[in-house]
């Protein structure tokens, strides 16, 4: 079981060793793409566990299931999808997992957009205040 607050590679404990002792059993893990992002995937893969990040939008659900979505209700369905994948070779509705460089690049872009939005949020009221008080920027002074 993955413990909260600890890195996934440490949380899996001795699972890879127990799998090896059980005749090199295959360890497979799946979770829906969400808040943990790809760090969980990276940690599990690093620990030698096959990990699949599933696209929640590609998993068939009734309208009732979709409106009453909880981890407890989703878990049996994810187990069935994973079991069908492992035993029968059915395809899983996985998401693309970008490499670390792409993730870093995306983080830089997100941060830049966030900063630009914050600057605009601060600048706009200041500009309105200056305009209301007839304070204008002199173009000649630069």
pLDDT, tens digit, for every residue of 104-141?
999 999 999 999 999 999 999 999 999 999 998 776 66
Is residue 19 a contact partner of residue 27, using CB atoms and an 8 Å limit? yes
The CA-based dihedral angle spanning residues 50, 36, 71, 74, taken in that order and rounded to the nearest 10 degrees = -50
* Helices of type H across 47-99: 63-67, 71-88
The 10s digit of each residue's pLDDT in 5-48 is: 556 555 566 766 776 677 777 889 999 998 767 888 998 888 88
pTM check: above 0.75: no
pLDDT of residue 112: 98
Query: Which of 78, 76, 64 lies closest to 34, judged by CA?
Result: 78
């Amino acid at each position: 079981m993955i413990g909260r607050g600890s890195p996934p590679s440490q949380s899996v404990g001795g699972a890879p060793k127990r799998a090896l002792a059980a005749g090199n059993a295959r360890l497979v893990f799946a979770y829906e793409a969400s808040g943990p992002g790809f760090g969980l995937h990276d940690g599990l893969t690093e620990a030698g566990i096959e990990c699949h990040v599933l696209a929640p939008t590609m998993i068939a659900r009734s309208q009732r299931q979709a409106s009453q979505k909880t981890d407890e209700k989703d878990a049996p369905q994810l187990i069935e999808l994973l079991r069908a994948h492992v035993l029968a070779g059915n395809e899983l509705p996985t998401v693309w997992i970008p490499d670390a460089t792409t993730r870093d690049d995306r983080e830089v872009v997100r941060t830049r957009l966030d900063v630009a939005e914050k600057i605009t949020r601060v600048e706009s009221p200041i500009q309105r205040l200056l305009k209301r008080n007839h304070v204008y920027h002199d173009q000649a002074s630069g």
